[in-house]
Amino acid sequence: MAVKVLGISASPRIEGNSDLLLRQALAGAESAGAQTEYIRLCELNIAPCTECNSCYKTGKCSIEDDYQMLSSKMLQADRLIFATPIFFMTVCAQAKILIDRCQCLWAHKYVLKQPLITAGRDRRAMVIAVGGTKSKKMFDSIRLTMKYYLDVLDMHYTANLFVNKIDSPGRIKQHPSAMSEAFRLGKELVSAAAPPEEPINVELT
């Protein structure tokens, strides 16, 4: 059975730099025989978390919108590739809204002590982030946020592709190695070999 890879693009730009890298990573996964699906958050209706805490009793979010559909896809996927531009040294608003809504999954797992997925499944994730400044510190927040987000999803945090000093739309196409690295990491994500204990970090300038 083909490995199912879900790609989530948080970019507000159509074919923004992080979005283009995500598409390339999905192409790499497809080249390894994976079944891929691409989702653009800006095309979905996902409201912010209201902190009503009803999920502490039910394990489910009380807000009915496109989150339920996406949550199901995230839990069904064998691999996840999450791509975001960096705004003010962290994930963009579209990404943060989705991550915050996963509080219900946290409650399901850690408050109600109920499993989210079948035990023993091999689930892995890769993170893509692109920022416009020269500072490498902007990736620190991304690592920490994604670490806890992926923990809630029961996914092994396998790899990062971080690129800085890229701002104008489509500029990533001119980067000498970013596109090829996205393809390579997407392909390797599908591998059945044992994942690394710590995420592979590819940082490009």
* Global pTM exceeds 0.85: yes
Domain spans, the chain: 4-48+67-101+122-204
The two counts, helices (H) then strands (E), for the chain are 7, 7
DSSP H helices, the chain, are 17-31, 55-58, 67-76, 93-101, 103-106, 138-152, 178-189
Q: What is the pLDDT along the chain (205 residues), one digit of tens a residue?
A: 899 999 999 999 988 999 999 999 999 999 999 999 999 999 999 999 999 999 999 999 999 999 999 999 999 999 999 999 999 989 999 999 999 999 999 999 999 999 999 888 999 999 999 998 888 788 999 999 999 999 999 999 999 999 999 888 889 998 989 999 999 999 999 988 888 888 999 999 8
Domain 4-48+67-101+122-204 bears CATH identifier 3.30.1300.30: no
List, in order, residues 6 or more apart from 184 with CB less than 8 Å away.
28
158: nearest Cα among 203, 186, 124, 191: 124
Q: What is the mean pLDDT of the chain?
A: 94
